[in-house]
Amino acid sequence: MRFLWMLAFFALPPAPGQERKEQRPLEEPLPSTIKVDVDLVSVLCAVRDKRNALIGNMTKDDFTLFEDGKQQTIKYFSRETDLPLTIGLLIDVSVSQGRLIEDERHAGHQFLTQVLRKKDMAFLISFGAEAELLQDFTNSSTLLREGLGKLRVNAQVGGMHPGPVPSANRPHGTILYDAAYLAAAEQLRKEVGRKVIILITDGVDQGSRTTVQGTIEAAQRSDVIIYSIEYVDPGFYYGRGGLGMPSDSSLRRMSEETGGRLYRVDRRHTLKDVFDELQQEMRSQYSLAYQSTNSERRGEFRRIEIRAGDKNLKVQARRGYYATAGAP
């Protein structure tokens, strides 16, 4: 299935009865989303030492968990290596990324081929002036390769560096936040298991209707982790009027608030290296589940903090959830 996600999509309700062709069995050893019937909250996390090395031998007693500052009792704990994984790979195809697309195509296919197992699924989205679903949910390496083969520079006529607000004279240029929002709110919201968005971009957003906070909220409501890969073409920015390098602040914020991590590609750290590290992290996670001591559900945001007993270790997890009276 292939279609364009235009900005007008925000004004339209979701298409009724639309289902993907491939369905994943609803099997999960531990709940991965908020189960409102018993107030069960499940949180995925990774643990790193001071050198950023992943720690894979933690036990339940090594963690302390707090919700809004109040300690909670961890009822379930497991090392998540086999829970079904759904990956949304979102690739920036704006003008600034034109010379990087071939590398993204090759490394992306290699990564998905290595990381996807029998119960896992993935979909592909490219985004520039508009967002395009290149491949819907699938486990097929062939279909994913064909989807990656469709990556093309996508730029709207109206200037190489349009303003931040779309208009007749200043069209949108890179709808990064809109693409991530739609992937979380529309593609992944009803999925089960571990849900991940991987963003490959230089971090520039020009013309999205949603904000970075709106994207973060959509991911938190859908229990989605965002991993950002900052991939910048220095020649594009320094070769055109002395433009400085883009900021990574929004990418870092989206990742850290949802339990992910920001990676960077440079001369010593290739995209393939980043994908290898990301694959290791997604297979080295822990699942902690607890029943909230606050039984009321008014839709408010509740802060989650997980601490490791060893203060030299850092726990990487989403920073909260929305306590709504229904599935997130």
Establish how many alpha carbons lie within 13 A of residue 114's alpha carbon, considering only the half-sphere containing its beta carbon.
15
Residue 9 lies in a domain: no
29 within a domain of the structure (yes/no): no
Q: Are residues 178 and 262 in the same domain?
A: yes
Q: Which residues of 265-285 are buried (b: 16+ CB within 10 A; e: fewer)?
A: beeeeebeebbeebeebbbbb
Output the pTM of the full model: 0.83
* pLDDT reported for residue 243: 59
Instruction: Please state, in angstroms and rounded to a whole number, the distance separating the CA atoms of residues 298 and 36.
Output: 12
Specify the CATH number for the domain of residue 108: 3.40.50.410
- Residue 246 inside a domain? The answer is yes
Alpha helices by DSSP H, listed for 195-270, are: 212-221, 234-238, 249-258
Residue 127 tokens, joined:
């985004």
Within a domain: 102? yes
Q: Is residue 182 located within the same domain as residue 238?
A: yes
Do 143 and 258 have their domain in common? yes
Rounded to the nearest 5°, which phi and psi values hold at 309? -60, -35
53 and 157 belong to one structural domain? no
Whether residues 101 and 191 fall in one domain: yes
- Same domain for 147 and 53, yes or no, is no
In a domain, 73, yes or no: yes
Query: Quick one: pLDDT at residue 315?
Result: 97
| Residue that is written with structure tokens 């013309």 in the block | 207
Q: Quote the CA–CA distance of 244 and 182 in Å, as a whole number.
A: 29
Assess whether 75 and 178 both reside in one domain. Answer: no
| Tens-digit pLDDT profile for residues 158-174 | 433 333 333 334 445 89
Q: Write down the pLDDT at residue 237.
A: 80
Residue 302's domain spans which residues? 40-80+285-322
Domain assignment present for 251: yes
The verdict on 238 and 314 lying in the same domain is no
pLDDT of 126 reads 97
Residues 230 and 305 in one domain: no
Long-range contacts of 274-283, Cβ-Cβ distance < 8 Å, separation of 24 or more: 274/229, 275/107, 275/108, 275/110, 275/111, 278/111, 278/198, 278/227, 278/229, 279/111, 279/114, 279/115, 280/54, 281/46, 281/54, 282/85, 282/115, 282/194, 282/196, 283/81
Tens digits of residue pLDDT in 211-236 = 999 999 999 999 999 999 999 998 88
Average pLDDT along the chain, 328 residues, taken 10 residues at a time:
43 43 43 50 95 94 98 92 88 95 96 93 97 97 97 70 37 86 96 94 94 97 97 81 75 97 94 95 92 92 97 96 72
DSSP 110-151: HHHHHH--TT-EEEEEEESSSEEEEEEEE--HHHHHHHHTT-
In a domain, residue 28? The reply is no
Identify the pLDDT of residue 283.
84
Same structural domain for residues 173 and 262?
yes
Check if the beta carbon of residue 138 is closer than 8 Å to that of residue 89.
no
Domain count, the chain: 2
DSSP class of residue 247? P
The verdict on residue 289 lying in a domain is yes
pLDDT number for residue 194: 92
Tell me, yes or no, whether 67 and 100 share the same domain: no
Does 209 share its domain with 268? yes
